[in-house]
DNA sequence: ATACTTACCGACCGTTCGGTCAGTTCACAA
DNA sequence: TTGTGAACTGACCGAACGGTCGGTAAGTAT
């Protein structure tokens, strides 16, 4: 038992396999619906070996969440300081976030699932952390756009940011269901969707009399 | 054993208590995290009595979902054929839906939870049903607004409808987390939120040169 | 009174759960 | 070669799970 209580820095091969298997299963079915035996089976190891690396089921879950968060917030920095108008930068940020979400479906599902369970104090804190990060950057960007007289002054920047995030998150969440609703073709093309959403949103935020 | 397999028409007092307890717990923790004993305890009855009314745990869950859906779609008809511009009607519809969501948090949480679990074929069908209902009406309303030359022609009505729903759903879902983010004051006032969202959205959809 | 049905319950069953224990394998340092 | 700690495992534990059994209490129709 080397590094426990989710203070990971270096993982062995076996530990990595356990984390991956756990992430897959936890994202698919949720905490309680996944047994340690199932994780062990998918990771091609034994149940006691999991307890050799993690002190209990909850500790394993937290470790999975932490790696998910780390991965999610890593890809965020790239799109931040692009050039162009705030409309363009905002659109870039939004499409980037959606691409990020769809590129890490398991992590997203994991985090999104936490928003629906009242208990698990720790899980909600983690969620708040990763959500708050994206949120703050978006709010700041919108606010700068207002100071630059590009966006209307009478809209709440936090609300605008929230709308962008909600459009992306709900797109991900509702995809499997919307797939079966024939009218919604946009669900199959994330970039078209992102484009359309930001078109309406930006158009609604722009000052009148600008380009 | 009288009426089983979720083909309910009339419920006795005891059965109603079981359904209510089950709805509360299922919404709070999810299917697998709730034990039949816990439901029996909350309903002030015994576990075997639950099996007298429902043939198994899954049947009970489906029964709970059905009553939730019935309640959700009932409150929908009121706001449909209001007078006014399409902008006003759309705003009314949206605020009505959000009020409906917040007035039936347990049902909403139950349905929202189904969107995150891949299995449970039946549950997803139910979700698709109740979501599709709202969705269709919204799409039709936006489309009419376009034919009336009130809204831009170059936006996808299904996408606009989706954005409205996503704003409402994600508001509900993210509330407990946004509560702890100080910048987001709008989270405490649903009607202000709804107003702000629809302001941006409608503004983004309006034809230029109209009032 | 009798017979039948419905609502309900204590006790119990087989199974699976999270978690433990004693012990093995193996790499590597002394 | 021996020692040591980390990686790993089969067998097992008490507890809790979903579900069943036999039976009771109460209403109701005959």
What phi, psi does B89 have (nearest 5°)? -65, -40
| Percent of chain A residues topping a pLDDT of 90 | 63
User: Strand C closer than 7 Å to the CB of A12?
Assistant: no
- Report for A11-25, B36-50, B109-123: range of highest mean pLDDT: B36-50
Residue A29 has pLDDT above 80, yes or no: yes
Give the minimum alpha-carbon distance from A52 to chain B in angstroms, rounded to a whole number: 26
Domains in chain B (CATH in brackets) are 13-64 (1.10.10.60), 75-205 (1.10.357.10)
User: Strand D closer than 7 Å to the CB of A37?
Assistant: no
Give the minimum alpha-carbon distance from A135 to chain B in angstroms, rounded to a whole number: 9
Give the minimum alpha-carbon distance from A143 to chain B in angstroms, rounded to a whole number: 12
Residue in chain B lying closest to A31 (CA)? B33
Q: Which of chain A's residues have a Cβ under 8 Å away from the Cβ of B111?
A: none
Q: Which of chain A's residues have a Cβ under 8 Å away from the Cβ of B153?
A: none
For A62-93, write each residue's pLDDT tens digit. Answer: 999 988 888 777 666 656 667 889 999 999 99
Residue B73 has pLDDT above 90, yes or no: no
Radius of gyration of chain A (CA): 20
Q: Which of chain A's residues have a Cβ under 8 Å away from the Cβ of B184?
A: 135, 158, 162
C1' of nucleotide D8: residue with nearest CA: A49
- Residue indicated by tokens 């994202």: A27
Q: Which member of A128, A174, A185 has the closest CB to residue B115? A: A174
Residue in chain B lying closest to A132 (CA)? B181
For A12-21, write each residue's pLDDT tens digit. Answer: 688 999 999 9
Residue A8 has pLDDT above 60, yes or no: no
Q: In angstroms, rounded to a whole number, what is the distance separating the alpha carbons of residues B4 and B52?
A: 9
Quick one: residue A208, left, alpha or beta (phi over 0 = left, psi -120 to 50 = alpha)? beta
Residue B133 has pLDDT above 50, yes or no: yes
Lowest mean per-residue pLDDT among A28-37, A120-129, A169-178, B63-72: A120-129
For B149-188, write each residue's pLDDT tens digit. Answer: 999 999 999 999 999 999 999 999 999 889 888 888 999 9
* DSSP 3-state of A29: helix
Q: In angstroms, rounded to a whole number, what is the distance separating the alpha carbons of residues B115 and B106?
A: 15
């Amino acid at each position: 038992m080397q590094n426990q209580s989710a203070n990971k820095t270096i993982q062995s091969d076996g530990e990595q396999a356990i984390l991956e298997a756990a992430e897959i299963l936890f994202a698919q079915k949720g905490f309680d619906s996944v047994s340690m035996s199932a994780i062990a089976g998918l990771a091609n190891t034994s149940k006691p070996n999991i307890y050799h690396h993690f002190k209990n089921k909850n500790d394993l879950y937290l470790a999975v969440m932490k790696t998910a968060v780390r991965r999610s917030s890593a890809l965020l920095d790239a799109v931040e300081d692009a050039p162009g108008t705030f409309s363009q930068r905002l659109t870039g940020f939004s499409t980037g976030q959606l691409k990020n979400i769809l590129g890490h479906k398991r992590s997203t599902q994991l985090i999104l699932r936490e928003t629906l369970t009242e208990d698990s104090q720790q899980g909600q804190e983690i969620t708040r952390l990763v959500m708050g990060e994206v949120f703050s950057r978006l709010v700041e960007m919108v606010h700068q756009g207002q100071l630059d007289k590009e966006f209307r002054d009478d809209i709440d920047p936090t609300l605008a940011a929230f709308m962008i995030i909600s459009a992306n998150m709900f797109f991900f969440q509702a995809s499997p269901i919307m797939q079966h609703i024939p009218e919604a073709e946009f669900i199959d093309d994330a970039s078209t969707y992102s484009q359309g959403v930001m078109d309406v949103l930006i158009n609604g935020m722009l000052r009148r009399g600008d380009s």
